[in-house]
Chains A and B, each alone.
Chain A
Amino acid sequence: MNRDELQEQIVAILVDDFEFENPGLADNLRDDHGFDSIDAIELLAKIEKMLGFQLAREEKEKAMSIRTINDILDYIEGIQAAHSS
């Protein structure tokens, strides 16, 4: 999955499941959209299903530093690269 496809899917999830309105790639997830730690755990479960494999605990913990949609995309690309190597 390339970055554009990833972006499309992640934005769709944030809009449909997390009720984001007009999400911007550099928006602060917490300040601009009220995204909290509970949402982060829920999003990780959706990312696992999207990728088709389970994330390790250390990989999930790294996600806690995510602040923007761009960070989410970077994070997923990093996971994909690690699992394909």
Chain B
Amino acid sequence: MKRRVVITACSAITPIGYRRSDIIESLQQGRSGVKPLRDDGLLTQYIHSRVFGTVDYPIDYGFTRKDTKTMGPVAFYACQVAKDVLAASGLEQKFITSGRLGVSFSSTHGSPTVQRNIYKTFFSNLQSEFSSIGAVDYLKSMVHTTAVNIARMFGITGRIIASSTACTTSSQSIGFGYETIKYGMQDAMICGGADEYDTTTVAVFDNLLACSVDYNDRPQCTPRPFDAKRDGLVVGEGAGAVLLEEYESAKARGAEILGEVIGFACNNNGGDLILPNLDGITATLRLALADAGIRARDVDFVSAHATATKMGDVIEAQAIDAVYGGRPLVTGLKSYMGHTMGSCGAIEMILTLYMMEEGFVAPTLNLETVDERCSMLNHVREITNTETRIAAIQNFAFGGVNTCLLIAKNR
């Protein structure tokens, strides 16, 4: 059994906005969400990179203690976007709790804020008579905390998938959710990912010399995907959720169809856990095309992973060139908000959907001089009004994990 899978709702909390109109405005006006790195009172002073893709606007969650007692900051983000997609979907409560709706959602770490508090207790409070590790700290910090808090909040009883694979976390979430519906295991899935403000991740990439450091005094000028003067990635925070549904049932209930997931592929480089791998990435892009049953020339737009690392962008450009040539428009959306880690695949897919609906493609921000090793691509350098019928969203992660999602405009 192979069924069509459509997107019927989406929501994203991003460094460039939360409401759809704010995000579109940011894309159209070239507004960056990269800000100075907030002081965490622990690691910040040792980190060379002082920039962060920051969510700095208030969010009215409206959750009660019953909801929040098992939630760290990352679950607040996750439950908020899940709440948004359920509200927008119009799905009946009876279906939500029927077992035919599942959750495919995760984050990179669980909640690092909560984990940090646990370690603080270990290292600073050993002599205390009373433990200050809360009974629910594990529930807040475990790696599937986002998925199960979403399930708990809405009484969802279907499948739980919590793939935690760093930068491919939410693209896997969407891909696995798509396959779960396509092959008939569930009729609908809330899919996505989230990651909260966390300096641990910045420190990790900083130690690997992968973080941007040259633009600490001009945060909005970095990251610079494909640019000759790029100097590394910028870590960010955010969340994205999409509701995927089986096409016939979505159509029958009169759901608004925003787009269709037509293909997904995921593979591993089978070797080095850090270095990008041309063969592995190229294979992923081709596998996705095969899954969708389309040709490379059918793809109009590529949302590149494009973290702005020195080698990552070059290898990705070579892979895009090998599979697609110079035809599709290519944008690195991380240029607007940094690398939102576990949420980047979902956020980049939602931004792509918004642009497909609005009939434009945003340029890669800060792309002033294209690195000659990336110059064979059809880079978007300015707002381009165009119809995108099929788009590819590609993401790659530490561990050698590669993903590619193919989505089509509502047909």
Residues of A in contact with B (beta carbons under 8 Å apart): 18-19, 34, 38-39, 41-42, 45, 48-49, 53-54
Q: Are A54 and B136 in contact (CB under 8 A)?
A: no
Q: Are B135 and A48 in contact (CB under 8 A)?
A: no
Q: Are A41 and B135 in contact (CB under 8 A)?
A: yes
Q: From residue A57, how far is it (CB to closest CB) to chain B in Å?
A: 13
- Residues of the A chain whose Cβ atoms lie less than 8 Å from the Cβ of B129: 53-54
Q: Are A42 and B135 in contact (CB under 8 A)?
A: yes
Nearest A residue to B69 via CB reads A38
* A39–B66 alpha-carbon span in the complex (Å): 10
| 19 additional contacts (CB under 8 A) given A38-B70, A42-B136 | A19-B64, A19-B65, A19-B66, A34-B66, A38-B69, A38-B135, A38-B136, A38-B139, A39-B69, A41-B135, A41-B136, A42-B69, A45-B130, A45-B131, A45-B134, A45-B135, A53-B129, A54-B129, A54-B130
- Residues of the B chain whose Cβ atoms lie less than 8 Å from the Cβ of A53: 129
Pairs A–B under 8 Å by Cβ, sample size 6: A34-B66, A41-B135, A41-B136, A42-B69, A45-B131, A53-B129
Nearest B residue to A33 via CB reads B66
Q: From residue A34, how far is it (CB to closest CB) to chain B in Å?
A: 5
> How many pairs of residues, A versus B, come closer than 8 Å at their CB atoms?
26
- Residues of the B chain whose Cβ atoms lie less than 8 Å from the Cβ of A45: 130-131, 134-135
Q: From residue B25, how far is it (CB to closest CB) to chain A in Å?
A: 37
Q: Are A18 and B70 in contact (CB under 8 A)?
A: no
* A53–B131 alpha-carbon span in the complex (Å): 11
Please encode chain B, from 370 to 399, with 1 for each CB lying within 8 Å of some chain A CB and 0 for all others.
000000000000000000000000000000
- Residues of the A chain whose Cβ atoms lie less than 8 Å from the Cβ of B131: 45
- Residues of the B chain whose Cβ atoms lie less than 8 Å from the Cβ of A18: 65
* A49–B132 alpha-carbon span in the complex (Å): 10
Please encode chain B, from 40 to 77, with 1 for each CB lying within 8 Å of some chain A CB and 0 for all others.
00000000000000000000000011100110000000
Q: From residue A72, how far is it (CB to closest CB) to chain B in Å?
A: 17
- Residues of the B chain whose Cβ atoms lie less than 8 Å from the Cβ of A49: 130
* A54–B64 alpha-carbon span in the complex (Å): 30
Nearest B residue to A39 via CB reads B69
Q: From residue A68, how far is it (CB to closest CB) to chain B in Å?
A: 19
Nearest A residue to B64 via CB reads A19
* A41–B135 alpha-carbon span in the complex (Å): 6
Q: From residue A13, how far is it (CB to closest CB) to chain B in Å?
A: 13
Nearest A residue to B66 via CB reads A34
* A53–B139 alpha-carbon span in the complex (Å): 26
Residue among B65, B134, B135, B139 with most chain A CB within 10 A = B135
* A26–B65 alpha-carbon span in the complex (Å): 22
Please encode chain B, from 114 to 149, with 1 for each CB lying within 8 Å of some chain A CB and 0 for all others.
000000000000000111001110010000000000
- Residues of the A chain whose Cβ atoms lie less than 8 Å from the Cβ of B64: 19
- Residues of the A chain whose Cβ atoms lie less than 8 Å from the Cβ of B139: 38
* A53–B69 alpha-carbon span in the complex (Å): 25
Q: Are A42 and B134 in contact (CB under 8 A)?
A: yes
* A48–B136 alpha-carbon span in the complex (Å): 17
* A41–B70 alpha-carbon span in the complex (Å): 13
- Residues of the B chain whose Cβ atoms lie less than 8 Å from the Cβ of A19: 64-66
Nearest B residue to A19 via CB reads B65
Q: From residue B4, how far is it (CB to closest CB) to chain A in Å?
A: 40
* A25–B257 alpha-carbon span in the complex (Å): 52
Q: From residue A60, how far is it (CB to closest CB) to chain B in Å?
A: 11
Nearest B residue to A37 via CB reads B135
Q: From residue B358, how far is it (CB to closest CB) to chain A in Å?
A: 42
- Residues of the A chain whose Cβ atoms lie less than 8 Å from the Cβ of B134: 42, 45
* A67–B83 alpha-carbon span in the complex (Å): 32
Nearest B residue to A34 via CB reads B66
* A-B complex: 7 closest residue pairs judged by Cβ atoms: A41-B135, A19-B65, A34-B66, A42-B135, A38-B136, A48-B130, A49-B130
Q: From residue B26, how far is it (CB to closest CB) to chain A in Å?
A: 36
